[in-house]
Every structure is written in structure tokens, then in C-alpha cells.
Structure 1
Amino acid sequence: MCGICGFAGFEDEKLLKDMCSVIHHRGPDDNGMFLDSGIGLGHRRLSIIDLEGGHQPVHNEDETVWVIYNGEIYNFLQLKADLVSKGHRFYTSSDTEVLVHLYEEYGDKLVHHLRGMFAFALWDMTKKRLLLARDRLGIKPLYYSLTGNKLLFASEIKALLQCEDIRPSVNVAALHDYLTFRHNLADETMFQGVHKLMPGHTLTYSGGSIFISQYWDVPAHGNNEFTEDYYVNKLRGLLEESVRIRLMSEVPLGVYLSGGIDSGIITGMMSKMVDEPIETFSVGFGSEGQIGELSQAQEAADYFGTNHHEIVVEQGAYAKYLKDVIWHNDEPVADPSALAVFLLSKMAKKHVTVVLNGAGGDEIFGGYISYKVGMLNNRYHRLVPGFVRKGLVAPIVDSISPHLPSKFYVGMKSASHEITEHGFLFSKSVFSEEDKHSLYTGELDSRISHDSFNKATDILFNNATEKFGNRQESLLSRMMYADTRSYLVDHILLETDKLTMSSGIEARVPIIDHNVVEFACSIPDSLKLKGMTEKYILKKVGKDILPKATQQRKKRPFRIPIGTWFKGELMEMAEQAMDDSVIVREGYFKPEVIQDIMKKHNRSELLYNHKLYALLVFEMWSETFLER
């Protein structure tokens, strides 16, 4: 586990050193560089496997292929044995070296042989060609920027910003989407000219040009009808294997335990595979957290006999650490729970270097309430004729719309018109299109040329429609696909990687092992959302693993008392930030509209908490990166 950075098309040793230095936190144990004509590869290492011999960059036998890599290849021992049988010679015991020999054997198709999480850069000296690759689910990040014929890449954007050719400025299209969804979409970032390499993609650079190719996607959901027991037993076996291979480490491991089903199953499986008690870590918020999530996590920890550690995040922590969270995230993500991951990782680092967590369970097995709402809405569209919806319901909605908050209005519109995808996306939104255009200055408004909902529908649902066919029959699959390719990658996994690595912690996510995901896609929708029971098949797997209270507990979101905190120190922080606001000074937003949002928040906090938080995060991101 580490951070990678580098460039192609020019030479600059000082720049490479600066890029490595700024991501020191990702790899405090070691660093390495490779410089040659037209290439620079930099690496920061967090030692987990082959502590003595895993120095990077790593090369092949004749030093014509070089690689730097961030991640873990869980099947590297099998791959190594096969490569040795084919005549390849290894000089390290690390998983990194299999990449150069796989490339010699299979070329760019080496990615199909890898099981794990990874982002790597591989330089072929003979062909003067650079290959970048990112893992199938996007667990590890990889950013790039092409200026002229110069390519720069890194695990974190802040490394790219060390190049004077990249002047930090706002990507207004990404800003427009961020205000709606709290994160950016697809390959865009908030930095103009900086892109993400998408999950399951490779990028090749040669002769000043780049070519991007997709090698994997979440597969189409199958229509196989095996017995329920078959799916339960098969899934249990795959999850056990996924947990087992993620215990590969020469340093201490632990689990982030929430008290829910996903992390509980991982903890239960892991506890049967190790001899010593597991180190588990949980976080709560103030007194609410202590009687809520923390008590549930403690209950599970007692059941599994773990060495349990917990931390309570108080309101004052935002003023102290929010800028650090934004700095490490690189991209603005308007998620109040990010601070919890940041502080939890600080605590966990005192005990372990690797943690497993339950990320992905909701997206892969159907755990969000928005799926229930979407399916009910879909059923309503089927049962109520269009002329009734449009002739009776729509006029009522239109007549009362001036008196409704925009989110309620669009949500009701989705019930009276056939815009199921918009209704689903709106359940995840903060600002509506109308809200945003009223917030923007005339200059910014003139630069916006798209509707965020149409854009997200195009990227996520139209692609899914091509994959899954009939819109009505496969709505649940398409909603889960959309969340897996967007919310999971650009929100949850982004924060998981950046905020664990901020403390030198490696996070492993067994639920989104690609073998598990591919099998999950073959499970019928009726065994994911059965009636109104979410994650039905996963709960069946957990029946013999979890304590009864965890099995019977209704799902509820991870609760953050943001409303309470916006009545105290967090509101003072927001007022101070907006008082001398970069986003106003730079001509993005109308100051009177921001003030109006703050006033309305005081009268109706439930409707404005996340709007205000999204503005605060963007303001602090602007202060951090635009005024550096």
C-alpha cells in the first residue's frame, strides 16, 4: 500500500521529488524514484508485505520494464508460481513484481489476471510506452492530467498540483454536479484539466497521446433461478474466501465495526480464521452516538470477543479537523461523516496498520431505502394510468409547487410523470437545478450548459439500460448499478482510501471483491429486496454468524447530529467562512442567496442542513486549494 506519482513526455527530477513529498502520508516507510529519458516514476511505501524487500520501483530481469504500484494483489502467490513455471525470475517476495512479469507474458491484458485493489503505472522502455491501470471497482484512486504532450499522474491530486503547468481552477461543470450530488460524476474532478482514471479502465501514453480503454464493468444481472439455499451457500463461501485472502499481511490487522450487518459478517468470519482476538474500532457522535451506533458495535464486539476500541466525535472536532479532511480528500465531498473516518483512522493507527470494512454491502446487495422508494414508485406508474397521473395528480402538484421546497416539488413530480430515474437521483440530491441557478452569479450561470440530472441519467441509467434491457423489469438492478458506479466509487471509496491513508492505514473491502460482485449480480432481484426486506440474501448469510439483535434490528442510516451542531459551533464556523468568502469573492455565488440559505436554515434546519454543509465544504476547499 502506498502512493504513486510521475510523468511522461518530459524530465524534471525536482518535480518528481516534490510530488513524492506531498503524498508522504500515504507511504511513510520508504520512497523510491526512477528517471529516464521522457519518464519519471515516484513511489511512497507503507510496508505490509515483504517488509525488507518490497522497495519500488520494481523491474523485470533485464530492467526494460518498470512499475510503481498502489494496492494489494491477493492472488499474487498463485500468479508468481505460474510465472516461475514459465521461466520468469523474481528478485523480491512482494506482490508488486508479478506485474512486470505478467506484462511480459500477457501485455496490457495482465489486468484480467489480477484479483485485488490496485492503481499502477508501468513503463515499457523498449516501446517508450506508459500503461496506467485502476482496479475493477475503483478502490484505489488514480488521477491524471494531459497538458500539451505532457502526462502527469498520481494517487492524489495534490501531487499533480506541484507542476507549475497545472494552475488550480474550478471546473464549473463539476461544481454544478457537486451541488446536486455532493460529489463529482464519472471522470471529472473539481480541478479544471484534472481527471480520474475510471474503475476498470486502462490508459496508455505514447508519443504525446493517450488512449483509454475499459476492461471490466459491473456485469448485467442474470435471470438464473436456482434455489435460495444455493445462493446463500455460494455467497457465504465467496465471502469467506474474500475475507481469508485479505488477512494476508506481515503487520497487525483490525476491522471497522459499525454494529450493522456488513461489518458484522466480516468480523464474524474473520474471528473464526485467526487465533488471537480481533482489534475492532467504532465511532459515534456525541451522546447520540454513545447510545446508538456505539452500543450496537459494542454488542457485536462482545459477541465476537474482540478487543474493542471506540471514539466519540464532538462538535468542536469540525473546527479543528475539517480543513485536514478536505486537504486529504482532494475533491470536495459534502459528507459530514467524513470526519468520523478521519478520526477513527487516527485512533486505529495506534493499534493496527490494516483494517477491513463493510463498504459496498448496500450497493451490491440492495440496502438503501431509495431502492424501496424507487420500486414503489415504479409499481405506482404501472398501476395508475398515465392520463390519471398527468390529468389529475400533475395539476395538483403544479398548483402547490410555489409553496413547496424544490426537493419536495421534484419528488412529487416524479410521482406524477414518468421520470423514475430522476426521482431516484433526486432522493440523493441536495440542490435542485432551480436552486443552483438562483444561487449562481450571472457570469457563472452563463457558463453552465447542462442539467445535472439529465447528465447523471445519461451516464448511469442509459448505460445501465443498454446492459439490462427492459427499464421496468430491471429497475432495482439499474438503481444498484448506478450507485455502484457513482456513489460507491466517487463518495464512499474515495473517502475510505484518502482518510485511512491520511493516517498510514490500509483499508481492505472484502464485500466488493470482484468475484463476489459478479456472483451477486447473478442473484435474482427478489432475493436482494424481498418485499420490503432489504439485503435479504445477505441477511440469510449472516443468520448463523451475527448476534440475534443485529439480525433483527431494522436498518437505519449512520446518524450524524449535523442539525444540532449547526445550532452551535459549526454554524459559527460557517458564518466566519462565508463572511469573507472565496466563493463569493471569485464571483461564483450571490452573497444574498447564501445569507438567505443560512436564515432559512435557522427556521427549517432539516431542509437546509446539507445545502449549508455543501457550501461550507466548497468554500473551505476553495480556501485550501485555490488560495494556496
Structure 2
Amino acid sequence: MDGIFGWLGEHGAHQDLIKHMGQAACLSPEGLLHAHSSQMLGVAGCSRLGKAEIHVENGLAAALYGRPRFLDDGLAFIARDQNPAMAVAHGWLRFGEKLPTLMQGNFAFAVLEPLKKKAFLALDRVGAERLCYAKHGGQLVFGSSVQSVAAHAAVGRVIDPQAIYDYLYFHTIPAPRSLYQGVRKLLPGQTLTLKNGQVSTGFYWQADYTPVDAGFDPLRRDFRKVLEQAVRDADAPATAAFLSGGTDSSTIVGALTAARGAPVDTFSIGFDADGFDEMEYARCAAERYGSRSHEYYLKPADIVTAIPIIAREYDEPFGNDSAVPTWFCAKTAREAGFENMFAGDGGDEIFGGNARYAKQRLFEAYAHLPAVLRRGLIEPLANLPGLSDRFPLSKLKSYVAQAKVGLPLRLESYNFLHRTPLDQIFAADFIRAVDPSSTDAALSEVYDRTSSDHYINRLMHLDLKFTLADNDLRKVGTMTEAAGIEVHYPLLDDRLVAFANHLPVDYKVRGQKLRWFFKEALDDLLPEKIINKTKHGFGLPFGVWSTQYAPLGDIVGDSLSDFKKRGLIQPAYLDHMLAMQRGQHASYYGVMIWVVMMLEQWLTANEH
């Protein structure tokens, strides 16, 4: 993967250490490099995609990864005339810690002042890029990759058991934790300052959900203007677009087609499996916009091909199985000669498109019923002896049980690690080494930190962190980069995010209608069939295919067999999952089987 990395501290900067850190992250740092042992400084970067820059001047070093827009005219000129890293260095000298507020777009940067023993790190507002760090003694080490930071002699690779637990709970390792003890990850919109030997973090930006007082028509005009600008600013030569047939990807293709006044090349993935293929919607959008459509139908053998690629390319275990279709879609585009792709990620999380937003409205309504009705009628009825486990009272019992759990923890009611007692899942030594409550605490911290009291805004703020920054953007960014594609997210343009955040709540979710404003405002752009379609996603029929395609089933069996030897999960629990997956619950249990399989695949591929 591409990125930047470096350190400030006691360890003299030298070429061997820089090369070691680069190789650990699958980087070759020979493109951009600076080391100065007398100042105890090392910075480096490598970019096949042209997103990494470093600049060293007058005892100050700046390392930048990404495509920021500078809001200050002087810095914007330096970025265009010289290079963006120089703009960061000059911006630091002029504005200090205010600098990231004057930058938009995707970026991660580090500024080092070795003579002052001072450093400053910053990450973009949505976490499109990533920046990791470790503070050990007199060392501050940073890098785009967890692996590059851990490769520094002062840090090391000691796996954190809590990170393994977090991975099995979230199917990724959410920031700020990383796989390794002592290595942390910046949160979206966060900065880190090293001063007087002490590290402190803070947020230079947080989502503002204060609703605007404006009517539909002016908001619609503003929205279409901001959307058009975001698409135009992100467009680049040799750019194609993902097209799943969902609302977001179709919007991006439609807006890009309108901006160019010419057809767009689109790339879509299909599945020859009941309940998974959405190619009809992708074709609907492609026909509507006159796109040059490229289709690839994923086969079980493709999953076998993708598994080692995923294990190699991610710098930590990653368990979202839609990395597979993302990889093949990006790979197909690169083979067709494209270097850039538009992705539609972010629309659900800023405009109110996730089904759970409407579902939680039903649960939240329960608390507003009169107590006498809840306690005197509904709850006794839901718990009638001998009948509460039979339909329809079983449904009522489940509803009441979930409604009595507060948000955001109610969202995890169906999490595998809540459905079975932990001592039946994990080995006793592993349970003693972790804090299971830390996952709930992490969710609650982000939910409660929202600058809004409304649960829908709070849910969207939660999803900006856990669904987008920790999961979907990692999935898409890593797989496109592995294919040699640079990805752009027009719906996550800072201006568009700010616009969406200020919409009134009922413009986002109106009753049970998701993305009400978004769909109404784009009714002339989006095909009616796509506006009214049921949300599906980019799911993978892994659970079904692994029982039907022997080579894939063999990988599953071998991976789980090897994983049993690690002594983390009870063998009986893994056997139970496999048995259930072979029945009518193939897709449900296939999720956890994939997660465990990819953990074993990653550990095997990355053991040092």
C-alpha cells in the first residue's frame, strides 16, 4: 500500500530503518525520502498513485498523503505551483494548529520540528485516509500503515488481545485501537500534538447537526449546486465509476454524466445466486444515463483467488466480505485502462439511508407509550407462560426486549458475541485477557459525542465513524489501491457533508421513508425504479457458495482447523457454526465463518 511514515526522537534517522519501515508496509520508500540523524528525524513516503509528498525546509519536515484543497489562497497557490507538502509546511508556520481547519478533502499529514522536539499530526474529517502513531519513550512514530509504525525498533509487533476481540465483534479493528499494543490510529477530524515530551489529542472538526430554517425548494437548489461542484472538483482524466444500481452509485453516475455532457464508463458486479444479484438495477441506471457499461459476474472461484490478496493487502485483519467484489470491480476497471474511480460511499450515512434508522423509530416509540400500557398490558402479554415463545407473541417478546435496551447498544442485539455466552465462544485465558465491555463503551462514546440530541443524527454520527471510516472506506480504499486505482468519494465532499448534516431530521428520515429529501431532490435524475428499490448492499454469497464449491469449502475447513490451534475460540463453537451454515442459515453463519477464516488467513500471511 501507499503512504507516509517517519519518526521524531532519540533513534537516529538512517536509511536502513526507513527501508525496514517501508518494507513492513509493502512500500518502497525510494520515491520520496529524507533522513537527518543529527536532528533525530526521518520521514518518507511512497505513492504509486501520486498522493504522497514530503517537504523539508529550515529544520522543519512535512509529510502529506492525500488530495487536500487549501482554503487559504496563498497555500493553494503553493500547492499548485510547488507541491502540497510545501503548502502544509508553510501553512504550519503561518497558522499552527489551525491549519487543518483550512484544508478540505482527503488528507493525512505530519509536521515535525526536531529542534523544538515538536510534532503535529492531522487526519481529514471523514477518515478517507488513515494515520497511525505510537509514542514510546522519547520516540513519536507515525505512518499511514499500522505495519510501518510497528516496524520501528522502538515499537514492535505485540498483538493486543483486545484488538482480536474487537475484530470479532466489529469485523474490523475500529480506531483508535490497532492490532498491536502501543500503536494507535487517529480518528476522523482529530489531531495529535507532541510538545514537551507529552502527547495530546483533540478534534479540529466535529459534525454540526444544527438544522437550517429553509424550505424544500431553496434547499434542493443548494443541494444540486453543491453536488455538481463536488463531482466536477473530483473528476480527473481516466475516471470511471462503480455502479451497483443503488441510490448512491446511480446518483454519482448521473451527476458525472450531466457534468461532462458525455457518457461515463461504469463497472458493475453481478452474482449468479438467488437474492444477491442486482445487475438489473445497474443496467437500469446505465440505460438511463447512456453509460458505457462493463459487467463482471463473480464466481465462487473468484473468492478463492481474492482471499490471499485480501490477507496480503490489508495492514490489519479485515472481515468485510464485500472486499471481494470491490477488488474485482476495481481490477476490471484498471485492466480497461482506468486510473481513477468514483464510489458512492457516504450517502446513507449523511442523508439517512440505512434501514436501521427507520427501524429504530419503532423501538424508540415504545418508551413514549404510557407506563401503565407498557407494564400493565404489553409486557405481561409478551411473557405469557407457555405462549411467549410462539408466534406472534415471540415477535412481541423480542420487540419489547430490544426496545428496553438503549441506543446505541440495541443495534448490536444480533451480534454473534451477544447471541451466545462468551464462555461458550472463547477460551478462558482469552476472556481473562480482554474487556468485553469496551466495545459497548466505544459505541457509546461516539453516539454521546454527537452535537445533537436526536437519535437519528446520533445514529448517523455513529455510522460516520464505525460504518464508514472504520469499515467501508477501508474496504474500498485498500482494494482499489491494490488494483492500481485511485478512488474518489464525491458524496463525502466536505461541503456536501456539511449541507446534509444541517438538514432537518425529518428531511432525512420521514416516517419510514429513508433519504426523503435526497430522493425528492433527485427525482428528475434518478430512475423511479432505483428510487423505490429496497436497499440491498454489495453482499457476497459466501455462505452459500462455500457449501457448494469444494475448493472454497476446503479453504474454510483448513482455515478454521488451523485457527483452532491458536486457542482463542472454543473448537465446539466453530464446529457449531459450520454445522449451522450447512443448513438453512448459510448466509447468517457464513458471516462469522468468513470473519474467522480471514483472521486466520491474515495471521498466517503476516506472521513475522
Asked if 1 retains the 8 angstrom alpha-carbon contact of 2:8 and 2:117, the reply is: no
In 2: Cα distance, 1:28 partner to 1:317 partner: 32
1:499 equivalent in structure 2: 479
Partner SS, residue 511 of structure 2: coil
2:509 equivalent in structure 1: 529
2:7 equivalent in structure 1: 7
Asked if 1 retains the 8 angstrom alpha-carbon contact of 2:172 and 2:318, the reply is: yes
Match of 1:187 among 170, 176, 180: 176
Partner SS, residue 543 of structure 1: coil
Change (3 A) 1:416 1:214: closer
2:48 equivalent in structure 1: 46
In 1: Cα distance, 2:118 partner to 2:81 partner: 24
Asked if 1 retains the 8 angstrom alpha-carbon contact of 2:541 and 2:587, the reply is: no
Work out whether 1:253 is the aligned partner of 2:276: no
In 1: Cα distance, 2:434 partner to 2:212 partner: 45
Partner SS, residue 293 of structure 2: strand
Change (3 A) 1:215 1:256: same
Change (3 A) 1:392 1:409: closer
2:55 equivalent in structure 1: 58
Change (3 A) 1:282 1:410: farther
Q: Please state how far the C-alpha of 1:353 moved relative to its aligned partner.
A: 1.6
Q: What letter corresponds to residue 348 of structure 2 in structure 1?
A: D
Work out whether 1:238 is the aligned partner of 2:210: no
Q: What is the total number of aligned residue pairs between the two structures?
A: 597
Provide the TM-score with structure 2 as the length reference: 0.90
2:548 equivalent in structure 1: 568
Change (3 A) 1:83 1:376: closer
2:296 equivalent in structure 1: 311
Asked if 1 retains the 8 angstrom alpha-carbon contact of 2:268 and 2:296, the reply is: yes
Asked if 1 retains the 8 angstrom alpha-carbon contact of 2:320 and 2:475, the reply is: no
In 1: Cα distance, 2:30 partner to 2:541 partner: 37
Of the structure 1 ranges 278-287 and 609-618, higher mean CA displacement relative to structure 2 is found in 278-287
1:201 equivalent in structure 2: 190
In 2: Cα distance, 1:82 partner to 1:118 partner: 15
Which stretches in structure 2 are left out of the alignment for 5+ residues?
Answer: none
Change (3 A) 1:436 1:323: farther
Match of 1:549 among 521, 529, 543: 529
Work out whether 1:468 is the aligned partner of 2:468: no
1:263 equivalent in structure 2: 249
Asked if 1 retains the 8 angstrom alpha-carbon contact of 2:75 and 2:87, the reply is: no
Q: Please state how far the C-alpha of 1:375 moved relative to its aligned partner.
A: 0.5
In 2: Cα distance, 1:205 partner to 1:70 partner: 20
Q: Once superposed, what is the RMSD of the aligned Cα atoms?
A: 3.0
Q: Please state how far the C-alpha of 1:129 moved relative to its aligned partner.
A: 1.9
1:422 equivalent in structure 2: 409
In 2: Cα distance, 1:362 partner to 1:90 partner: 33
In 1: Cα distance, 2:180 partner to 2:395 partner: 32
Work out whether 1:445 is the aligned partner of 2:431: yes
Change (3 A) 1:302 1:390: closer
Asked if 2 retains the 8 angstrom alpha-carbon contact of 1:252 and 1:352, the reply is: yes
Change (3 A) 1:155 1:288: farther
Deviations 1:108-156 (A, max 9, x none): 2110100111011122345232221100111101111223322222112
Asked if 1 retains the 8 angstrom alpha-carbon contact of 2:126 and 2:188, the reply is: yes
Deviations 1:489-538 (A, max 9, x none): 11011112222111232111111122221221211111111222211111
In 2: Cα distance, 1:532 partner to 1:382 partner: 18
In 2: Cα distance, 1:419 partner to 1:275 partner: 49
1:79 equivalent in structure 2: 72
In 2: Cα distance, 1:124 partner to 1:96 partner: 15
Change (3 A) 1:124 1:80: farther
Asked if 2 retains the 8 angstrom alpha-carbon contact of 1:30 and 1:46, the reply is: no
Q: What letter corresponds to residue 226 of structure 2 in structure 1?
A: L
In 2: Cα distance, 1:212 partner to 1:310 partner: 45
Partner SS, residue 367 of structure 1: coil
1:52 equivalent in structure 2: none
Change (3 A) 1:30 1:547: farther
Which stretches in structure 1 are left out of the alignment for 5+ residues?
Answer: 50-54
Match of 1:105 among 68, 72, 94: 94
Q: What letter corresponds to residue 251 of structure 2 in structure 1?
A: I
Deviations 1:333-389 (A, max 9, x none): 321111111222222223222211110111111111111110111113322634247
In 2: Cα distance, 1:173 partner to 1:410 partner: 33
Asked if 1 retains the 8 angstrom alpha-carbon contact of 2:75 and 2:90, the reply is: no
Change (3 A) 1:82 1:431: closer
Change (3 A) 1:390 1:440: farther
Asked if 2 retains the 8 angstrom alpha-carbon contact of 1:80 and 1:98, the reply is: no
Q: Please state how far the C-alpha of 1:392 moved relative to its aligned partner.
A: 1.4
Deviations 1:433-454 (A, max 9, x none): 7443311111111223332563
1:324 equivalent in structure 2: 309
Deviations 1:48-79 (A, max 9, x none): 58xxxxx832245xx333212111023x4x63
Q: Please state how far the C-alpha of 1:201 moved relative to its aligned partner.
A: 0.9
Asked if 1 retains the 8 angstrom alpha-carbon contact of 2:125 and 2:188, the reply is: yes
Change (3 A) 1:126 1:8: closer
In 1: Cα distance, 2:252 partner to 2:386 partner: 48
In 1: Cα distance, 2:535 partner to 2:90 partner: 46
Q: Please state how far the C-alpha of 1:600 moved relative to its aligned partner.
A: 2.5
Deviations 1:267-293 (A, max 9, x none): 11211222653222222223559x932
